[in-house]
Amino acid sequence: MKITVKEAADILGGKLYGDPSTEITGISKIEDANPGDLTFFYLSSYEKFLSSTKASAVLIKPEVNKSRNDICYIEVEDPKGAFQQIISKYFSYEISLIGIDDSAYISPSAKIGKNVSVGKNVVISDNCKIGDNTKIFHNTVIMENVRIDSDVLIYPNVTVRENCVIGKRTIVHSGTVIGSDGFGYNPDEKGVYHKIPQIGNVVIEDDVEIGSNVSIDRASIGSTLIKTGVKIDNLVQIAHNVVVGENTVFSAQTGVSGSTKIGKNCILAGQVGVVGHIEISDGVIVAAQSGVSKGISKPGKYFGSPAKEMVNALKLESHIRNLPTYVEKIKLLQKEIEELKTHVLKNKSRDEA
């Protein structure tokens, strides 16, 4: 693919500085760019690369200094977003999968929509419904009574278990299991654990993306619900009967325990753990490696284990880091107090004499 910087600027509605006929033939990070590449600058920590980048054009914010005349600049308010826009329009690629491979098994009772592509060794079991324009890559297993809407993309080695529902334009990456049994057991009087039947399902709404090696457990009764626009990173565990609100984002290695309800527009960063049977408000951001041990009722940033409002958590963390200094100060104060007490006692004895 080849475009000019003028074409890029026109698409983005940006202001161009430099030769409008300069050609863009690739995209790259600012520190790795070569002639012909378009890159972007938006974090101050990357400012050192502005003077040395070999890119032909850089997407920048209006306030950034344009000190070089050997490259082009395109001013935009959101360089990162603009860069992604150019990638999506000109430099993204689509993995080819056309038709239904001979090695795939599709149950006679399954209903397959128009323009569906099915890869090698895929199994589509009884009474499944697959919507139009869906692509299901190799070695995926779709069990009984699953409904998959149109324009879904399922990468290799995915399992979708019985009765689950996947909405439109959803993407599921390799190794993910949707509808595994929830972790439900009852101990008897001897402490022996007995499995509780997990007879619910998983419902995934539209425009969801699920990373690789994610486990979303089926509900014990009812549905585990992932609402529209949710984005889930790799290696995330979502337990039975969890409800995740619209446009909420999970980073890698986050785990959510059963029957918890998470609001919309939340962010749970890497390695966050959430206990079961609580509710988290809309608009909550939980920082990495935090542990949410009770419900969160108001929007904001939270950090720590147990998670606290960010401002309070950082103050507490600062005090913890200063504990060695505090200990030394306390020892000095104790010594001074003892010396004062000794001094007072001596004066008192002298006065009494």
Distance separating alpha carbons of residues 350 and 346, to the nearest angstrom: 6
pLDDT of 134 > 90? The answer is yes
Across the beta sheet with 279-280, what order do the strands follow?
Answer: 111-112, 129-130, 147-148, 165-166, 201-204, 223-226, 243-244, 261-262, 279-280
SS3 call for 294: coil
Higher pLDDT, 338 or 95: 338
Q: Give pLDDT, residue 13.
A: 96
Mean pLDDT for the chain overall: 95
How much is the average pLDDT of 230-240? 98
Contact 147, 165 (CB under 8 A): yes
Q: Identify the pLDDT of residue 353.
A: 61
Distance CA 54, CA 43 (A): 18
Q: For 94-124, write each residue's pLDDT tens digit.
A: 778 889 999 999 999 999 999 999 999 999 9
* pTM score of the predicted model: 0.86
Is residue 280 a contact partner of residue 293, using CB atoms and an 8 Å limit?
A: no
Q: What average pLDDT does range 190-208 have in this prediction? A: 97
- 128 and 70: one domain? no
* 240 classed as catalytic: yes
With tokens 């918890």, the residue in question is 260
- Catalytic residue of the set 138, 240, 277, 343: 240
257 and 155 fall within a common domain:
yes
Q: Determine the pLDDT at residue 66.
A: 92
Question: Is residue 241 helix, strand or coil?
Answer: coil
Last residue of a domain, one of 37, 59, 91: 91
Number of domains in the chain: 3
| Residue 100 lies inside a defined structural domain of this protein | no
pLDDT of residue 352: 67
Regarding whether 265 and 158 lie in a shared domain, the answer is yes
* Count, residues in the chain: 353
- With bands split at pLDDT 50, 70 and 90, how would you rate the model's confidence at 326? very high
Give residue 346's pLDDT: 78
Q: Is position 96 within any domain?
A: no
CB 205 within 8 A of CB 227: yes
Q: Examine the domain organization and report whether 223 and 134 are in the same domain.
A: yes
Where a domain ends, among 91, 115, 142?
91
Would you tell me how many other CB atoms lie within 10 Å of the CB of residue 57?
Answer: 28
Residue span of the structural domain in which 300 resides: 105-312
- Radius of gyration of the chain, Cα coordinates, nearest whole angstrom: 29
Cα–Cα distance for residue pair 234/215, rounded to 1 Å: 10
Half-sphere exposure of 29 (CA within 13 A, CB side): 4
Tell whether 167 and 256 lie within a shared domain: yes
pLDDT recorded at residue 349: 72
